């Protein structure tokens, strides 16, 4: 199946496919290699930048916690503060106890003021769950069990980050708790980081603007604190906590981890879409270059089509023109020697074919002329008998002038019909023959009808088939015209055609009658008039003009019939007809456009020009 489809691919599509594969294939491979290379470079660059920032954050946090650890060591082991606390524990005198208490607070304040990274500082008694010697007002109820545990060691415990218990600030801080080395007392020292000690480290609590977020993992690898709690929930195991990797992806975030000296870890997380921004920008640039290269490839393909495929297409059109085109000869060359030789051979064969075609065309035209001539000489004998009978009655009823007039019109009409005036004919000859025919018909019929002949003077010399107008007027007479009938014959010369209109106000015809009238396959059993009929008109038009002549019949019962005929006219024929019109005008000839006023055989008055009948609505071609 695939082989059959490939065999049906056109030569043009094969050229385009091969060109695209050969041009775009290497570029696509190079683009893929470049993509993986740049992707690796960008990944390493981003990962290195995140790791560097994370190390700085870890160092800052470790320094802060080390500072807390150092202060706690000073206060927990020896020193003047422990001595004063021991004295306060044994002193019974109120005044002395008050003095010692103030002395202890003064010592703690000195330490706080000398170290700005120290915030809330106080001593906690787990037995009474109370605190004392605080350097700032304590917010709420303080209890170590409510603090988020970060790391726990025998001598010290780290907490955080959590909301500070310092009533004067509202920030997240880290804190430590260390047991104080005092005999007979169970006291713990609690110290928090100071104001703004870690302002830029955690968000959104401290309003950090970057999208980078931090996580704190305890010694067990669980999340002690999370800035993206919806993805990395607190008190849950961190993904891949048992793996030794320091970076990875999880939940749509890229994470990087650094482990502190105390065993807890600081994790930096960044949305993957932000990391991919630089990669996407590079991809857009590559896509732009690809589109540019594609446009260039299409342009080169167009040049290839113009230089290679178009010559083949010319040869293909030449082959098709053998049967589908009437152009006799073309001189186009492909400028490819092999194809030009084939074109020469093809055109030689084409000339021979057209010679044979011309011979056949001449024979067919001759055969059509013979058929028309045969129809032309088939005059209905009843017409001659009716006319002679009319002559007989006229001889009895009138004088010799009427008989002479009748016989003269009949002879002229028969001479024209039988071709005694030559093979060629003009519109002027047709008009004269039509007048003689109408003269006979007005004498013959016992009802009155008017005929208006309106002819363009410049059309009188145009060539015309013989007996073209008479059958159409005869159709009007024999299909509805009666008393007060009216027939209009109009001939107008247009730009490239001759418009002939035969219109009557008679009884009209139905569609079936029109179809039967134009049907060439039906036999003329009941011939009337001269017996030529509309079929003769159709055949003579086809023989003389081919498909260029148009015949149209519009009729409606009770309103009349309009027969329209459009004949093609050449420039040479128009020029010859115009010259004849000028010669006739100079010779003082009669104007062609006038009303025919034949004398009525029964004493009816001369006809007046009547208005044109109403246009019928029904149309048939």
**pLDDT one-digit tens code per residue, 34-53:** 777 777 776 676 677 777 88
Two tokens, residue 119: 């915030």
Q: Helical H runs in 305-399?
A: 310-324, 337-376, 381-397
Cα(505)–Cα(503) distance, integer angstroms: 7
Residues 6+ apart with CB under 8 A from 278: 42, 46
Overall average pLDDT of the 480-499 stretch: 84
pLDDT value of residue 333:
66
Does 566 have pLDDT greater than 90? yes
Overall average pLDDT of the 228-236 stretch: 84
pLDDT value of residue 606:
30
Dihedral angle sign, alpha carbons of residues 253, 257, 263, 264:
negative
Q: Is residue 616 a contact partner of residue 508, using CB atoms and an 8 Å limit?
A: yes
Class of domain 382-620: alpha beta
Cα(255)–Cα(53) distance, integer angstroms: 12
The architecture CATH gives domain 47-270: 2-Layer Sandwich (3.30)
Two tokens, residue 396: 């009895």
In 3-state terms, what secondary structure has residue 9? coil
Does 455 have pLDDT greater than 70? yes
Which has the minimum average pLDDT: 1-5, 111-115, 366-370, 554-558? 1-5
Query: pLDDT-based confidence at 418, cuts 50/70/90?
Result: low
Backbone angles phi, psi at 265, to 5 degrees: -125, 150
Instruction: Provide the residue ranges of all domains of the chain, joining segments of one domain with +.
Output: 47-270, 326-369, 382-620
Cα(6)–Cα(14) distance, integer angstroms: 9
Does 388 have pLDDT greater than 60? no
Strand duo 550-556 + 560-568: pairing: antiparallel
Q: Helical H runs in 256-334?
A: 272-304, 310-324
Overall average pLDDT of the 522-544 stretch: 68
Overall average pLDDT of the 194-204 stretch: 63
pLDDT value of residue 319:
73
Which has the minimum average pLDDT: 24-28, 332-336, 384-388, 574-578? 384-388
Overall average pLDDT of the 384-408 stretch: 65
Q: What is the pLDDT of residues 61-97, one digit of tens each?
A: 888 888 888 888 888 887 788 888 888 888 888 888 8
Cα(189)–Cα(495) distance, integer angstroms: 118
State the first-to-last Cα distance of the chain, in angstroms, to the nearest integer.
Answer: 52
DSSP code string of 330-352: -----S-HHHHHHHHHHHHHHHH
Query: pLDDT-based confidence at 6, cuts 50/70/90?
Result: low
Taking every pair of Cα atoms in the chain, the longest distance, rounded to a whole number of angstroms, is 181
Query: pLDDT-based confidence at 207, cuts 50/70/90?
Result: very low
Number of other residues whose CB lies within 10 A of the CB of residue 205: 15
Overall average pLDDT of the 236-250 stretch: 76
More confident residue, 19 or 1: 19
Closest CA to 150 of 277, 262, 45, 72: 262
């Amino acid at each position: 199946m695939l082989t059959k489809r490939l065999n049906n691919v056109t030569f043009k599509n094969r050229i385009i496919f091969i060109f695209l594969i050969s041009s775009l294939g290497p570029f696509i491979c190079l683009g893929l290699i470049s993509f993986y290379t740049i992707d690796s470079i960008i990944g390493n660059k981003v990962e290195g930048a995140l790791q560097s920032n994370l190390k700085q954050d870890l160092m800052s946090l470790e320094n802060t916690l080390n500072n807390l650890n150092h202060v706690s060591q000073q206060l927990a082991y020896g020193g003047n503060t422990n001595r004063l606390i021991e004295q306060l524990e044994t002193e019974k005198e109120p005044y002395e106890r008050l003095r010692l208490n103030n002395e202890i607070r003064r010592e703690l304040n000195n330490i706080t003021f000398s170290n700005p990274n120290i915030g809330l500082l106080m001593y906690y008694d787990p037995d009474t769950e109370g605190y004392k010697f605080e350097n700032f007002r304590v917010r709420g109820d303080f209890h170590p069990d409510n603090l988020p545990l970060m790391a726990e060691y025998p001598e010290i415990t780290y907490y955080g980050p959590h909301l500070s218990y310092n009533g004067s600030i509202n920030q997240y801080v880290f804190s430590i708790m260390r047991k104080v080395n005092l005999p007979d007392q169970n006291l713990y020292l609690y110290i928090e980081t100071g104001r703004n000690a870690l302002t830029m480290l955690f968000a959104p609590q401290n309003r950090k603007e970057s999208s980078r977020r931090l996580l704190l993992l305890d010694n067990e690898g669980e999340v002690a604190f999370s800035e993206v709690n919806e993805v990395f929930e607190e008190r849950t195991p961190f993904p891949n906590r048992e793996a030794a990797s320091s970076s990875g992806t999880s939940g749509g975030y890229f994470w990087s981890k650094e482990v502190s000296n105390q065993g807890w870890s600081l994790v930096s997380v960044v949305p993957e879409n932000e990391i991919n921004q630089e990669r996407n920008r590079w991809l857009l640039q590559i896509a732009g270059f690809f589109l540019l290269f594609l446009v260039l490839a299409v342009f080169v393909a167009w040049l290839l089509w113009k230089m290679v495929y178009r010559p083949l297409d010319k040869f293909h059109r030449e082959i098709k023109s053998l049967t589908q085109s009437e152009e006799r000869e073309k001189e186009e060359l492909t400028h490819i020697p092999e194809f030009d030789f084939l074109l020469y051979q093809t055109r030689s064969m084409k000339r021979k074919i057209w010679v044979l075609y011309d011979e056949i065309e001449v024979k067919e035209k001759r055969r059509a002329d013979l058929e028309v001539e045969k129809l032309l000489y088939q005059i209905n004998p009843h017409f001659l008998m009716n006319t002679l009978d009319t002559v007989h009655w006229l001889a009895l009823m009138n004088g010799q002038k009427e008989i002479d007039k009748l016989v003269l019109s009949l002879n002229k009409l028969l001479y024209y019909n039988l071709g005694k005036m030559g093979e060629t004919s003009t519109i002027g000859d047709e008009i004269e023959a039509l007048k003689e025919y109408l003269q006979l018909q007005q004498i013959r019929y016992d009802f009155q009808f008017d005929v208006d002949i309106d002819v363009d003077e410049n059309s009188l010399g145009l060539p015309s088939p013989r007996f073209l107008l008479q059958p159409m007027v005869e159709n009007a007479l024999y299909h509805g015209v009666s008393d007060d009938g009216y027939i209009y014959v109009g001939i107008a010369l247009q730009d490239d055609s001759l418009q002939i209109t035969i219109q009557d106000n008679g009884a009209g015809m139905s569609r079936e009658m029109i179809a039967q009238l134009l049907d060439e396959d039906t036999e003329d059993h009941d011939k009337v008039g001269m017996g030529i009929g509309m079929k003769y008109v159709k055949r003579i038009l086809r023989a003389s003009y081919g498909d260029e002549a148009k015949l149209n019949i519009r009729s409606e019962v009770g309103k009349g019939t309009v027969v329209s005929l459009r004949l093609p006219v050449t420039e040479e024929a128009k020029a010859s007809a115009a010259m004849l019109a000028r010669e006739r005008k100079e010779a003082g000839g009669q104007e062609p456009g006038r009303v025919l006023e034949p004398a009525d055989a029964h004493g009816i008055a001369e006809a007046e020009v009547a208005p044109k009948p109403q246009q019928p609505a029904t149309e048939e071609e």
